[in-house]
Amino acid sequence: MPRADWRVRWGIPVAVIVVLALGYWWLHPKPRSLGTAYISEKSVILWTTTAEVRQPAATAHYGDLVTILARQGPVAQVRNAAGVSGWMDAYGLMDPTLWQQATALLAKARGMEVQASGYAKTVTNLHIEPGRSSDRIYQFGRNVPVVILARAVAADTEPAAAAGGAASDTAAPDASQPKLEDWLLVMRDSSAAEAPLAAENTDVSAAAANAAPAADDATADAPLPMAGWVLARFIELNPPGPVRDNAQSSDLHLAAWFELNRVPGGSGDVPQYLVAGSRGEEGQTCDFTLLRVYTWDDPRQRYETAFLESDLCGKLPIHVFGTADAPEFKFADQTSGERDYVMHKTMVRRVLPNEQNARTPRAAKKK
């Protein structure tokens, strides 16, 4: 009989505790996941609460995969791989699909040839595609150096200011059409700039920039390889001095420049340049409309325009290859197809299709 009393005495409290525990679990279930996302900022602090008085719980870095636990307006509660949860600005999250697209874009950019170089004039958003309405994947700080890989045109999707009465009556016929804007595919990582074409040997530098035009005050961004589309007007190009000076004097909007080779000069070897550009407003169909080759005149100690062609509708990229003695370059023209040129000393001429077939394959010239 005493054994039965012991079981009754302890069995009831244990049963009550189990029931209370189950009830608590039922009323306070584990937070359900709202999916996963990647951190799209260099680093973000996960805060213990959304209140003004709060403590940092952890720090998340670019590319970290987190689990989304809750969303409250512009903020989200996330849990990192270590199991620590905290609140952050939801603006710094990127969904997995967009992350994969951004990764693929960077991989593609690393295999492209540099067309120009420059730096961000201000805080600049990188997009996955050309256009303001496309998804943002990162943000560059001011003075971050970039290389330019491609150009595209997209319509300005921002609503225009409404015109009133008489002004709308006298508007131009195409005033209702969206403005076209220039966009550039840029890359932060300068080490992936000069990939040679298949079966061709890149013997010259694709782009030679001036020494740093301004200090990079976004030093935290430096280790991150990053590629994306940006508004062209937010990028300040940084050409070599002779290219910049000649472009300014001829009112030329630069699209690309290349060092073709070097020749003896008064104080050492002097570079000679191929330059592509255009004139007029942004939003043009052609990436560039004219080509110039600047060669060094040593007796006069100045650059001369050795070659000029202005009847083009060129499309980037321009491919530069060949040897220092006979550099070549080619590109696609939207009206006449592929165009190929070769330079001997200071003479530049176009290589016609029938000459290309009769030439020795470039691979056979390699030593």
Are 331 and 281 in contact by the 8 Å Cβ rule? The answer is: no
Q: How far apart are CA 51 and CA 31, in angstroms?
A: 20
Domain annotation covers residue 7: no
Nearest in space to 228 (alpha carbons), one of 285, 150, 153: 150
Indicate if 46 and 153 belong to the same structural domain.
no
Indicate if 104 and 199 belong to the same structural domain.
yes
How confident is the model at residue 363, as a pLDDT?
37
Indicate if 215 and 331 belong to the same structural domain.
yes
Q: How far apart are CA 354 and CA 160, in angstroms?
A: 51
Interior angle at CA 307, CA 305 and CA 310, nearest 5? 105
Indicate if 56 and 184 belong to the same structural domain.
no
Domain annotation covers residue 65: yes
Are 314 and 287 in contact by the 8 Å Cβ rule? The answer is: yes
How confident is the model at residue 213, as a pLDDT?
37
Indicate if 68 and 108 belong to the same structural domain.
no
Nearest in space to 338 (alpha carbons), one of 364, 321, 319, 365: 319
Domain annotation covers residue 346: yes
- pLDDT at residue 182 greater than cutoff 50: yes
Indicate if 181 and 153 belong to the same structural domain.
yes
Domain annotation covers residue 136: yes
Domain annotation covers residue 13: no
How confident is the model at residue 282, as a pLDDT?
87
Of 53, 73, 94, which one is at a domain's C-terminal end?
94
Indicate if 85 and 111 belong to the same structural domain.
no
Indicate if 140 and 280 belong to the same structural domain.
yes
Indicate if 278 and 137 belong to the same structural domain.
yes
Q: How far apart are CA 47 and CA 30, in angstroms?
A: 19
The structural domain count of the chain equals: 2
Q: How far apart are CA 287 and CA 333, in angstroms?
A: 10
Of 94, 114, 130, which one is at a domain's C-terminal end?
94
Is the pTM here over 0.85, yes or no? no
Indicate if 68 and 150 belong to the same structural domain.
no
Confidence of residue 153 (pLDDT cuts 50, 70, 90): very high
How confident is the model at residue 237, as a pLDDT?
94
| 249 Cβ neighbours under 8 A, 6+ residues apart | none
Are 342 and 360 in contact by the 8 Å Cβ rule? The answer is: no
Of 60, 94, 128, which one is at a domain's C-terminal end?
94
Q: Which residue has the higher pLDDT, 63 or 5?
A: 63
Instruction: Fill in the amino acid letter for 7.
Output: R
Indicate if 51 and 111 belong to the same structural domain.
no
- Residue 190: domain span: 99-157+177-365
- The tens digit of pLDDT for each residue in 46-71 reads 999 988 899 999 999 998 999 999 99
The CATH number of the domain where 75 resides is what? Answer: 2.30.30.40
- Output Rg (C-alpha) for the chain, integer angstroms: 30
- The tens digit of pLDDT for each residue in 94-122 reads 999 999 999 999 999 999 999 999 999 99
Indicate if 68 and 208 belong to the same structural domain.
no
How confident is the model at residue 135, as a pLDDT?
94
Continuous H helices in 230-339: 241-249
Domain annotation covers residue 295: yes
Residues 75-103: what's their mean pLDDT? 93
Confidence of residue 14 (pLDDT cuts 50, 70, 90): low
Q: How far apart are CA 271 and CA 265, in angstroms?
A: 9
Are 286 and 313 in contact by the 8 Å Cβ rule? The answer is: yes
Nearest in space to 200 (alpha carbons), one of 43, 319, 33: 319
